[in-house]
Amino acid sequence: MDIATVVGLVGGSGLLLWAIMGKSDIEAFIDGGSVAIVVGGSLCAALVSFPIQRILGVAKVVKNCFFARTRDPQQLIADMVKFAEVARRDGILALENVTADIKDPFLVSGIQMAVDGQDPDLIENIMMNDLETVETRHADGKALFDNIGRFAPAFGMIGTLIGLVIMLQNMNDPKVIGPAMAVALLTTMYGAVLANLVALPMADKLGLRSREEMMLRMIIIKGVMSIQSGDNPRIVEQKLKTFLPVRMRGGEEAAKAA
C-alpha cells in the first residue's frame, strides 16, 4: 500500500475537520444538495468527456494510487546483468530455463523472443508497441482525474450561484439570508476540496506511477536488446544505469554527484 497517499488524504481531511470543529458545528458544513451538485455534476461531466467503459474502470485506476507496487529499478538492473552473465557463459538459449522464475510477463516475453532468435528490430518494435499501449492506458486514467479536478470547482461555483439565486428570492425574510448564504458557499468549498485534495493529487500520483513503469519497461527493453546482441555484462550494467538518477548509480558518478 502507498502510505503517502493514505497519509495525505487522511491528514488533509483531518486538518479540515479540525479547523471546522474548532470554530463551528460539523453539521453546518454538511449539505446533501451541495454534495450532489459537485460530485454528481463532476461525474456527469466525466461521462460526457469519456466513454462509459472508462468511467466504470475508475475503481481499478484508483487502486493504482493506493496499492501499486513499484519494482526497484536497481534490482531489475541487477537481474538483467545476471541474465547477461548466463547468456554470455552458457549461450542465450540457457535463458529459457530462467523464464519460469520471472513474474513480469513483459520481461518473459522479451527474453523468450530473444531465445527464439527473432530479428532484433522486430523484438524492439513489439516491445515498444506494448510500452506505448500501456502508456496510453495510464494517460487515460490520469486524464479522468484531471477532468474531475478541472470541473469540480466549476460545479462548486454553479452550486453557489444557484444558492444565491434562491437566497435573493427570499430577501423579504432577513433571518434566512445568513443560513442561505452559508449553504450557497458550501458548494464552492466542496468543489475546491474535491479538486485539490482528491482528484488532482490522484492524477499526479497516477502520472508518477506511469513514469516509473515506463522507466522499468525501457530498462527491460534495452536490457533484452543488449543481451541479444551479446554485450559484456558490465556493458549491459552501464547501459541500464543511465536510466537511474546519478545518486543511485554507485561508483564514481555517484561520488561526484554527492
- Structure confidence by residue, pLDDT tens digits, 193-212: 999 999 999 999 989 888 99
Higher pLDDT, 36 or 256: 36
- Residue 125's pLDDT is 95
Residue 1's pLDDT band (cuts 50, 70, 90)? low
Q: What is the pLDDT of residue 45?
A: 92
**148-171 mean pLDDT:** 88
81: in domain:
yes
Which residue shows C-alpha cell 495525505?
Answer: 8
The answer to the question of residue 4 being in a domain is: no
CA–CA dist 126, 109 (Å, integer):
10
Average pLDDT over residues 146-167: 90
Task: Quickly state the pLDDT bin for 81 (edges 50, 70, 90).
Answer: very high
Q: What is the overall mean pLDDT for the chain? A: 86
Model's pTM, two decimal places? Answer: 0.82
Domain that holds residue 138: 36-258
Identify the pLDDT of residue 258: 47
Contacts of 102 (CB under 8 A, 6+ apart): 108, 111
Q: Please say if the pLDDT value at position 44 is more than 60.
A: yes
Dump pLDDT digits (tens) for 2-28.
Answer: 788 888 989 999 998 888 888 778 887
Q: Is residue 9 part of a domain?
A: no
Question: Grid coordinates representing 177?
Answer: 439570508
- Confirm whether 234 is domain-assigned: yes
| Within a domain: 252 | yes
Residue 123 contacts residue 234 (beta carbons within 8 Å) = no
The pLDDT, as a whole number, for residue 246 is 82
Residue 24 is assigned to a structural domain of this protein = no
Q: Count the domains in the chain.
A: 1
**Of 250 and 133, which is predicted with more confidence?**
133
Domain contains 168:
yes
> Is residue 130 classed as helix, strand or coil in its secondary structure?
helix
Name the percent of the chain in helix, strand, coil, to the closest 5.
85, 0, 15
Closest residue by Cα to residue 150 from 108, 194, 180:
194
Nearest CA to 246 out of 256, 233, 236, 235 is that of 256
- What's residue 38's pLDDT? 93
Q: Is residue 203 part of a domain?
A: yes
